[in-house]
Chain A
Amino acid sequence: MASASTSKYNSHSLENESIKRTSRDGVNRDLTEAVPRLPGETLITDKEVIYICPFNGPIKGRVYITNYRLYLRSLETDSAVILDVPLGVISRIEKMGGATSRGENSYGLDITCKDMRNLRFALKQEGHSRRDMFEILTRYLVPSTAAAPLPLFAFLNEEKFNVDGWTVYNPVEEYRRQGLPNHHWRITFINKCYELCDTYPALLVVPYRATDDDLRRVATFRSRNRIPVLSWIHPENKTVIVRCSQPLVGMGGKRNKDDEKYLDVIRETNKQISKLTIYDARPSVNAVANKATGGGYESDDAYHNAELFFLDIHNIHVMRESLKKVKDIVYPNVEESHWLSSLESTHWLEHIKLVLTGAIQVADKVSSGKSSVLVHCSDGWDRTAQLTSLAMLMLDSFYRSIEGFEILVQKEWISFGHKFASRIGHGDKNHTDADRSPIFLQFIDCVWQMSKQFPTAFEFNEQFLIIILDHLYSCRFGTFLFNCESARERQKVTERTVSLWSLINSNKEKFKNPFYTKEINRILYPVASMRHLELWVNYYIRWNPRIKQQQPNPVEQRYMELLALRDEYIKRLEELQLANSAKLSDPPTSPSSPSQMMPHMQTHF
């Protein structure tokens, strides 16, 4: 009896909090309206339902469906439950119960979401309300298959922001920041019309000594023409991280002189080490198996001056199944009795560990090993993107700022053709599609693990990572739509949609980590050991009101207070110094700058 009463007690005190979570995305909402609406959002229908809340039991409410979201408001006076779910988040809608169902609340809809939750609504059997709701949701979920094709909401969204997120990433500027072009590396426009490779960006950085003709010949030997191109160059030792897809070796062990020569040219841009290091992200058995379908890896015989390592990261299917298991143990109920071994059996943290370990190896090779590195998996758009972007995050503190991280995502993921549309399934009802996989989520999880281990190294906070993941699914912004740059160009995404970075950058304060201390040149090597990796509870178990952390976070509040106090003291000190120097009527000596004083102030922390 005692335990039951405790949970009641706990849920009671935390309940209100879960319910107050209305606006996480900074939209001004007209309180007089029943449903918050974005510019361009229109109400389609509303229905009375019973929301079967897994934590608080059935709640009578009214559900509103717009062309962007499903919104539920409780009709019960003692409960303020609100659900606000963008339609893009919905992965699957199932009818539960039939005409003969007798049990209470057994007739209705069961909605599976991409963000680790399920929603259940019980509806009245009379009046076809379930059929209506099912059909409307399905139509808006998969706009393109509707009788009259509807665009994704991102194309109807009329939100205006005072900054334009589409201008955040400019490849020329980013490469210039890295010191490119230089006399070893040049920018090429060979892919301007996406003719060389339709899943690559228009602008590429390649070895100075490789001609455009060389590039075309190399493209024939790389899966989907994804040739090795530069991702990042070390500012001091000038070693590089290069990304590509697997070579088309095949069963016969084909070789390609141009590819071999091209890799040698890449190697020669770095004079410090006689070998080029190749990281094949896959387990070696998978790499071998890929030969059967025409792929493969760089053999020692063909590539004398390269060293190949396999990183043992599994493919998209393994990751998808692993995340499913995570959901099984956290939603709706958290598997309490054998939590740690259940968590272990999902292998999710083990996969996180392998991805991080791989990225650490890449970063370490470039930085300490002074060797240029080539990274690929099969097609070079999933594991490769994870590895290059994480390694860059470890090596280059620029990417740890808010805008820097946006640039990193924009560059290594969006422009280099991570297939967001296929992996997430935007506007696609085929929820069992084998192409779907939480690769980007896994990357964000790795970033979160790093931010946990280096709490002062990142300008952004956890909310920043969560809002990115929320809008990965929401289809409110154009940022993550489509599979590659060429498709986005065809659809004129930057003209017709709003960028997620517009929302974030116009409201940056909300996403800032108060503990951030800017450090140039610091390389972060996270500890990729099971002893240190944790499940990201605030994301994966955020729907469970009993697991939620205190909000607002008192630590952050306290830190803000301390920062304000510090600023105040610095100001007062400067005033005193000024008064003092005036009194002495000496020629004003420059007062010691605040930055010089900071170390003293910080010894208290």
Chain B
Amino acid sequence: MFSLKPPRPTFRSYLLPPLQTDDNINSEPKIKKLEPVLLPGEIVVNEVNFVRKCIATDTSQYDLWGKLICSNFKISFITDDPMPLQKFHYRNLLLGDHDVPLTCIEQIVTVNDHKRKQKVLGPNQKLKFNPTELIIYCKDFRIVRFRFDESGPESAKKVCLAIAHYSQPTDLQLLFAFEYIGKKYHNSANKINGIPSGDGGGGGGEGNGGGVDSSQKTPLFEIYSDWDREIKRTAASGWRVCSINEGYMISTCLPEYFVVPSSLADQDLKIFSHSFVGRRMPLWCWSHANGSALVRMALVKDAPQQRKIDQRICNAITKSHPQRSDVYKSDLDKTLPNIQEVQAAFVKLKQLCVNEPFEETEEKWLSSLENTRWLEYVRAFLKHSAELVYMLESKHLSVVLQEEEGRDLSCLVASLVQVMLDPYFRTIVGFQSLIQKEWVMAGYQFLDRCNHLKRSEKESPLFLLFLDATWQLLEQYPAAFEFSETYLAVLYDSTRISLFGTFLFNSPHQRVKQSTEFAISKNIQLGDEKGLKFPSVWDWSLQFTAKDRTLFHNPFYIGKSTPCVQNGSMKSFKRTKGNPGT
């Protein structure tokens, strides 16, 4: 040994197949090539060279050499080595094979094996040892391991701390989407009116079907006409679009426009709204061809008023039914698992799929899976939704979903019922519009439930549960859905990419408020716009090429004539296999 740090090629030749050793890796041009691909507004915060990415559980021939980078958007591992054991048939345009978006990081663990030390890194923490290994636990069930045996110890430490810091921001406006959109607005300010164009910057009106056909736009339900069109599409006579929440004057957790029984005047609604939790008055979701409507609402908190208001609401809903049918009320809080239980089940499921040794879980796999209760909950939601489908379709009753705040379980049940009853929602555009209508606009708290800021006690994977339940239906009715399993997986992954506005906020109002603040601080002219227009997830061209997007389409889909799908029985349920783990 001539130097303290052995020259890298020697080491490399020791570990890798001899074929590659003659390559002089250490030469200048080679290193220069290892440059990250950055998005507008993305900056490299820290980087470290000569990092080994572990692919298999043990140090092995599969390990890759490269540079580890922490940016304000992602951690990126840049390597010339080919990816062994290639798994996916599609590539994300925003992320390399080895990249992890910061919002996808669950936990960061640093290890020093010489000192036998290990530390979970929170934000703004100190690290008293030089890490030899960095383990990143991701929210999408991945575990990524890096070894720093040959890297500079100080830069390794700095990168670890940077990752810990940037992946656990203290403020919503520190999420990358703001930096990105700010840059976009600034860049385009020089061109046209400050409205970003080109690669689908429009969180407002953009969002194509995700497929080859980009002419069909996903209705976002941000504007009056989307609701009006939905009323006409479902032939919901007796219902009208209501504008009393324009400018979020009534409620900050309701959309600006929503649909109510025609018989209720704006003035009445304003009065009633005070009695509901979060002023979340009854919102129309959908109407069956037979006239039965699906309605969701929060609880009436005002006990003495409760009976009276309930009565008025029910009467109004009955009046909106062409046959004046009764209303069937479903108290979701009493019939379904709550969000904490769903979260607990998810944690156990993840534990089972990711953390525990394969061999140990193999023997008791089925009962362990059962013990997580995840499938039990998936079943509970499907079963309850199927019961409501029966009420709507066969009993011709309008259904009212009641929940304390009306913005968690209601989102899931309302969407499942519609997926089961209306073939439109089994198309790609329809499914996306359903998510806009019942989740994004209805004020599902994506920021808290996805825990983008990593300090929330309110994390719960209800949206994943919805996608899983949809997957179960897709398995049982393979010809009924336009989209594929791949589409559902990619959609879920997209909730972890903090570039899109779709799944970033707790309510539409929060988007407007936060982005207006941000725009003012950054001197961005908003004009008539209500807040910044973040890119929409539905603009799939941002993430995937047209060729890859064909994988979203289910080749077995029979466009029309698929019956209403429903089945709440357990044994035909499959175990979800999709999530890749290491």
Q: CB within 8 Å of B: which residues of A?
A: 2-3, 5-6, 9-10, 330, 334, 336, 338-341, 343-345, 349-350, 529-532, 534-535, 537, 541, 546-547, 549-550, 554-555, 557-559, 562, 603-605
Q: A530-B362, A531-B365 are in contact. Are A555 and B479 (CB under 8 A)?
A: yes
CA gap between A350 and B363 in the complex, in Å = 8
In whole angstroms, how far apart are the Cα atoms of A330 and B577 in the complex?
24
Q: Point out the residue from B366, B387, B570 that lies within 8 Å of A5, measured CB to CB.
A: B387
Name the CB-closest residue of B to A534: B574
Known contacts A6-B387, A343-B366; 8 further A-B pairs (Cβ under 8 A): A6-B568, A9-B394, A334-B570, A338-B370, A350-B363, A529-B362, A558-B479, A605-B555
On whether the beta carbons of B370 and A555 are closer than 8 Å, the reply is no
Assess whether B477 is interfacial by the CB under 8 Å rule. yes
Name the 8 nearest CB pairs between A and B, nearest first: A554-B479, A530-B365, A340-B370, A341-B367, A344-B366, A340-B366, A555-B556, A2-B387
Given contacts A334-B569, A340-B369, A344-B364, contact A554 B562 (CB under 8 A): yes
A345 to B363, CA, bound (A): 11
The interface bits of chain B over 539-561 (1 if a CB of A lies within 8 angstroms of the residue's CB, else 0) are 00000000000100001111000
User: Are the C-beta atoms of B577 and A531 separated by less than 8 Å?
Assistant: yes
Instruction: Compute how far the CA of A336 lies from the CA of B386 in the bound complex, rounded to whole angstroms.
Output: 17
On whether the beta carbons of B570 and A339 are closer than 8 Å, the reply is: yes
- Judging by beta carbons under 8 Å apart, are B383 and A554 in contact? no
Q: Which residue of A lies closest to B478 (CB)?
A: A555
Q: Mark B317-347, 1 if CB is under 8 A from A, else 0.
A: 0000000000000000000000000000000
Distance in angstroms between the alpha carbons of A603 and B577 in the assembled complex:
24
Contacts of A10 in B (CB 8 A): 386, 566-567
Cβ of A550 and Cβ of B477 under 8 Å apart? yes
Q: Nearest A residue to B375 by beta-carbon distance? A: A340
Q: Which residue of A lies closest to B390 (CB)?
A: A9
Q: How far, in Å, is B355 (CB) from chain A's closest CB?
A: 15
Check if B575 is an interface residue, CB within 8 A of chain A. Answer: yes
**How far in angstroms is the closest Cβ of chain B from A63?**
31
Contact between chains at A554 and B570 (CB < 8 Å): no
Minimal Cβ-Cβ distance residue in A for B370: A340
Known contacts A340-B375, A554-B556; decide if A6 and B571 are in contact (CB<8 Å).
Answer: no
Does any Cβ of A come within 8 Å of B572's Cβ? yes
Knowing A9-B390, A338-B370, A340-B369, say if A546 contacts B569 (CB, 8 Å).
yes
Question: Smallest CB–CB gap between A604 and chain B, Å?
Answer: 7
Q: Which residues of A contact B395 (CB under 8 A)?
A: 5
State the majority secondary structure of interface residues on B. Answer: loop
Across the interface, which residues of B come within 8 angstroms of A535, CB to CB?
A: 571
Contact check, B555 vs A604: say whether CB atoms are below 8 A apart.
yes
Residue of B477, B479, B550, B571 touching A339 (CB-CB under 8 A): B571
Q: List 17 A-B contacts (CB under 8 A).
A: A3-B387, A5-B390, A6-B387, A336-B569, A336-B570, A341-B371, A344-B367, A349-B366, A531-B365, A537-B572, A547-B571, A547-B572, A558-B555, A558-B556, A558-B557, A558-B558, A603-B550
A205 vs B304: C-alpha distance when bound (angstroms): 91
- Report the bound CA distance from A339 to B574 in whole Å: 12
**Does the CB pair A334–B386 fall under 8 Å?**
no
Query: Would you call B387 and A547 a contact (CB within 8 A)?
Result: no
Considering the chains assembled together, what is the distance between the CA atoms of A220 and B299 in angstroms? 84
Question: Are A530 and B383 touching (Cβ within 8 A)?
Answer: no
Contacts of A531 in B (CB 8 A): 362, 365, 575, 577
Contacting residues, chain B, for A2 (C-beta < 8 A): 387, 390-391
Contacting residues of chain B (215-243) with chain A, CB-CB under 8 angstroms: none
The contact string, 1 if C-beta is below 8 Å from chain A, for chain B 454-494, is 00000000000000000000001111100000000000000
Docked Cα-Cα span, A472 to B476, in Å, equals: 29
Chain A hits for B568, CB < 8 A? 6
Interface centre among A5, A10, A340, A344 (most CB of B within 10 A): A340
Contacts of B550 in A (CB 8 A): 603-604
- In the assembled complex, the CB of B377 is this many whole angstroms from the nearest CB of chain A, namely 14
What distance in Å separates the Cβ of B527 from its nearest Cβ neighbour in chain A?
A: 44
> From B553, which residue of chain A is reached at the shortest CB distance?
A604
A330 to B568, CA, bound (A): 16
A537 to B390: give the CA distance in the assembly, Å. Answer: 25
Q: Shortest distance in angstroms between A6's beta carbon and chain B's nearest beta carbon?
A: 5
Taken together as a complex, chains A and B put the C-alpha atoms of A520 and B286 apart, in Å, by 53
Known A-B contacts A554-B479, A555-B556; A341 and B370 likewise in contact (beta carbons under 8 Å)? yes
**Max count, chain A CB within 10 A of own CB: residue among B362, B375, B387, B567:** B387
Residues of A within 8 A of B477 (CB): 550
A532 contacts B577, C-beta separation under 8 Å: yes
A532 and B367 CA atoms in complex are apart in Å by 14
Chain A hits for B386, CB < 8 A: 6, 10
Using Cβ atoms and an 8 Å threshold, which residues of chain A touch B371? Answer: 341
The digit string for B122-148, where 1 denotes a CB below 8 A from any CB of A, is: 000000000000000000000000000
Are B370 and A339 in contact, with the CB atoms below 8 A? yes
In the complex, which residues 372-431 of chain B have their Cβ closer than 8 Å to any Cβ of chain A?
375, 383, 386-387, 390-391, 394-395
Identify the closest chain B residue to A540 (Cβ): B571
In the assembled complex, which residues on chain B have CB atoms less than 8 Å from the CB atom of A9?
390, 394
Least CB distance from A600 to B in Å reads 13
Complex CA–CA separation, A541 to B364 (angstroms): 23
Beta-carbon contact of A562 and B555 below 8 Å: yes
CA distance A341 to B391 in the complex (A): 32
Which residues of B from 497 to 520 have beta carbons under 8 Å from A? none
